[in-house]
Structure 1
Amino acid sequence: MDIDDLIDAAIGREGGFSDNPADRGGATRWGITERVARANGYPGDMRALPRETAAAIYRRLYWQRPGYDRVAAAMPLIAAELFDTGINMGPKVATGFLQRALNALNRGGADYADVAVDGLIGPHTLAALDGFRARRGAAGERVLLKALEALQGARYMTLAERRPANEAFLYGWLANRLG
């Protein structure tokens, strides 16, 4: 999948307009919150947010800015997962999951050095990703994907446990965001 396919899938998954009182994100259209839309120059009614505007926001904020386009060059499945998780939890959280997983999978630093879990894709994170890929190959990408999904699932459970209103979303998160 390329980024256009990933954006189309995200928009399809997120759907049209929503303003669920239990959702702290408030009014959304195509999965873009009103706060994000306003911060990116959209002044209109959220019910009328153009699909093209949402797509441009996804590309800029959830693909290019966090550096997932650079991850895609080495591991496209991982980049796709980071993109989707970043949409739902924020790119810093998604990138933090990658960094935690890379640190835990480096065999105590034997394969590559640990990276700071700072939520930013930089040269050290990319070097660790390259080290992981060199050591584990194509099969490693699937294992790394499982580690990311495990971290994501654990976070969903914690969110639901800490805030009972999030229980309304837990089933959908688990059904639509994992695997």
Structure 2
Amino acid sequence: MTSLPNILTLGRVALAPLVAALIIAGWPAAAVSLFILAALLDLLDGKIARAMKTESASGAALDPIADKILVALVLLALGGSGMLQTWHLIPAGMILLRDILISGVREYAAKAGVSLAVTGLAKWKTTAEFVALALLIVSPIDGGGALYMGGLAALWLAGALSAYTGAQYLLSMRKAG
């Protein structure tokens, strides 16, 4: 766990509650800055692990968990601060439901000796989540105008991709045994 990529991944985990606290405190510029830093760390940790040939099972397991922690805490902070209301809680719920469900499916698959690779569409889902959350975090700066609407559109896209990729993983697991 002491390799540079794993340290970067743990850094994302440490940043998540800080981002959420800054959202709740009403400091969108600081919150989005730390959120973008966390997203960049997500890009870097895997690239560094591959370049340094330090890929590990613990890193592969921790990386998606770090993403889920960041996304979940930001969604909760946005909901708690009133930025996500009524119907917009549906895609947020789909994202959280899929992440929890797939974590369990991956654990079950691992115990059964089945590897469930991350799909390209699942990577797009994560990208849509990060774009949505960054736009929503920073949207108070423009008074909830275009940034907020763009963030909501990306959130609904991420919710739809969550439902679809979640179903894909479940079907893959079913086929595997």
Fold in common (TM above 0.5): no
Q: TM-score, normalised by structure 1?
A: 0.32
**Higher RCO, 1 or 2 (CA under 8 Å, sep at least 6)?**
2
Q: Comparing both structures, which one devotes a greater share of its residues to helix?
A: 2
